[in-house]
Amino acid sequence: MRYFPLFYDTQNVNALVVGAGEVAARKIELLLKTEANVSVVAPDISDTVALLAEQGKITLTISPFETEHLDKANLVFVATNDEQLNAEIQQQAKAKGIIVNVVDNPPLCDFITPSIVDRGNITIAMSSGGVAPVLLRYLRQKLEAIIPQNIRLLGDFAEKFRETVKSQLPTVTQRRYFWEWFFDSDVAENVLQGKQEAAETPFLEKLASAAKDDDFSKGQVYLIGAGPGDPELLTFRALRLMQKADVVIFDRLVSPQILDLVRRDAEKIYVGKAMSNHTIPQEQISALLVEKAQQGQRVVRLKGGDPFIFGRGGEELETLVESGIEFQVVPGITAANGAASYAGIPLTHRDHAQSVVFATGHLKDNTINLNWSGLAQPNQTIVFYMGLTGLAIICQKLQEHGLASDTPIALIQQATLQNQQVVTGTLQTILSNPDVATLKPPTLIIVGTVVSMQQQFDWFGNTIEAENQD
């Protein structure tokens, strides 16, 4: 991020625009939405700028630019059609310590003007760093369509009662929870419809109630399945709760793209567990959830896949129940479903598999002593979680218990992400594929004749096939 987004206080600011053509007029009209004093200097002026001067909205000087025009300026926009002059003005402004924008010339800009969705005191600004203005217009069009024109009424209402809420609810957390309730409530809907007086009574009643009890002080844990990695596979509910979190406790299976969607000022605690390297024991993770919730915080426990499928979600909920902590569970797309879908492998198919079994390749006691005879069944798909290090044993045991040596197998690394890699073969050939040695967790293993359809259905790509070994 080269350009840091911020909002500049324009009260008592003198903004100078050099140039008075139609391009400059667009910048002037934008500045007139602020509280800045706007001055314009140019030898020739467009009709739009002339009209603004006649209306008394700007101070206009019809003359060539001179260095003294910068004397009272705090902010300068340069918009002439002379590139050399623009560069000279930029250098003069910089020498005086004035921040400057040279229109359509990002390398000469101290700042760039964003694309804006204006709703009075609610302003949404977007920037592409000057590289994709058409894309910004497209995004602005989308936002304009979904954000109510009268959303400013909610801002006005919040401003009116801001100090009242602050006096009744002593902590920042309580106040944030209360305002979140308000914006999601029917009371806010009345405000949007212009019925402010009808909204004030229930608003103040709820505030009085919140000040007396701990409705907005109780901590809670949200156990959320983050899915297999692609952030577009998150549920709407998961995203909404992630935006409410005070604390986010996550592990290594949660992709950086998903973490970017968490509320930015939330505390983020990594408790990732890698093979043979348990950063924090499970018991301490569960205790941490309780500790943070007892502090009155809303805690998101973010897990890859689904929290109830090899995610130890049940163990964590047991601790929460014992401690009397309120919680919610948000399911996620399982790693098995996500990996299979993005690899082009249907887990069930009438011609291949009428059942599917999920198994872990890494038990609590560090063994893989599974019910091999139950797994090695015909017309069944087997999905192994955490089985990469035990791949040789898995292939051996399944063959010993009845599966044919030519049974297809697929290994899927970083499922659903752009660096996803799929290695396929058979129980007999897969270990001879040198690409298997390059795979790292998280890698999912799928065994069954459904894997034979992978090449036909491979829509996502990055598949490596093991050669047949006679």
Span 81-118, pLDDT tens digits: 999 999 999 999 999 999 999 998 888 999 888 888 88
Is 386 among the annotated ligand-binding positions?
A: yes
Residues 6+ apart with CB under 8 A from 430: 391, 395, 409, 411, 423, 424, 436, 466
Distance CA 296, CA 156 (A): 29
Per the CB < 8 A criterion, the answer to whether 300 and 222 are in contact is yes
Distance CA 93, CA 108 (A): 11
**244 flagged as catalytic:** no
- The architecture of the domain spanning 336-465 is 2-Layer Sandwich (3.30)
Predicted confidence band at 211 (pLDDT cuts at 50, 70, 90)? confident
Q: Which two tokens stand for residue 67?
A: 């260095």
Mean pLDDT, range 218-235, rounded to an integer: 93
Residue spans of the domains in the chain: they are 14-113, 149-212, 220-333, 336-465
| Pairs from 118-122 (Cβ < 8 Å, separation ≥ 24) | 118/33, 119/147, 119/149, 119/151, 119/152, 119/155, 120/152, 120/155, 120/156, 121/152, 121/155, 121/156, 121/159, 122/151, 122/152, 122/154, 122/155
Residue 172: pLDDT over 50: yes
Q: Which two tokens stand for residue 97?
A: 């310590």
Torsion of CA 185, 189, 195, 197, to 10 degrees: 10
Per the CB < 8 A criterion, the answer to whether 383 and 415 are in contact is no
Q: Which two tokens stand for residue 433?
A: 């594929």
Task: Spot the catalytic one: 27, 246, 251, 397.
Answer: 251
Mean pLDDT, range 359-386, rounded to an integer: 84
- Assigned CATH class of 220-333: alpha beta
Q: What pLDDT score was predicted for residue 215?
A: 61
* pLDDT above 70 coverage of the chain, percent: 94
Is 304 among the annotated ligand-binding positions?
A: yes
Mean pLDDT, range 366-390, rounded to an integer: 88
Task: Spot the catalytic one: 218, 273, 435, 458.
Answer: 273
Is 406 among the annotated ligand-binding positions?
A: no
Distance CA 293, CA 289 (A): 6
Give Cα separations from 180 to 4, 153, 167, 440 (angstroms): 27, 16, 17, 42
pLDDT in tens, 402-459: 999 999 999 999 999 988 999 999 999 999 999 999 998 889 999 999 999 999 999 9
Is 23 among the annotated ligand-binding positions?
A: yes
Distance CA 466, CA 464 (A): 7
Distance CA 198, CA 204 (A): 11
Q: What pLDDT score was predicted for residue 405?
A: 95
Predicted confidence band at 470 (pLDDT cuts at 50, 70, 90)? very low
pLDDT in tens, 23-52: 899 999 989 989 999 999 999 999 999 999
DSSP state of 368: -
The domain made up of 149-212 has a fold known as Helicase, Ruva Protein; domain 3 (1.10.8)
Residue 159: pLDDT over 70: yes
Determine which of 64-78, 86-100, 113-127 has the lowest per-residue pLDDT on average: 113-127
Q: What pLDDT score was predicted for residue 461?
A: 77
Determine which of 220-224, 309-313, 345-349 has the lowest per-residue pLDDT on average: 309-313
Strand stretches in 155-295, DSSP E? 220-225, 247-250, 267-270, 273-274, 277-278
Distance CA 441, CA 444 (A): 8
Is 44 among the annotated ligand-binding positions?
A: yes
Residue 193: pLDDT over 50: yes
- CATH code for 14-113? 3.40.50.720
Is 232 among the annotated ligand-binding positions?
A: no
Distance CA 328, CA 290 (A): 14
Strand stretches in 81-128, DSSP E? 99-102, 115-119, 122-126
Per the CB < 8 A criterion, the answer to whether 298 and 173 are in contact is no
Is 408 among the annotated ligand-binding positions?
A: no
Q: Which two tokens stand for residue 354?
A: 């009428």
Predicted confidence band at 274 (pLDDT cuts at 50, 70, 90)? low
**215 flagged as catalytic:** no
Strand stretches in 94-216, DSSP E? 99-102, 115-119, 122-126
Residue 212: pLDDT over 90: no
- The pTM score is 0.72
Determine which of 80-94, 122-136, 224-238 has the lowest per-residue pLDDT on average: 122-136
Q: Which two tokens stand for residue 183?
A: 């914006």
Torsion of CA 452, 361, 224, 326, to 10 degrees: 150
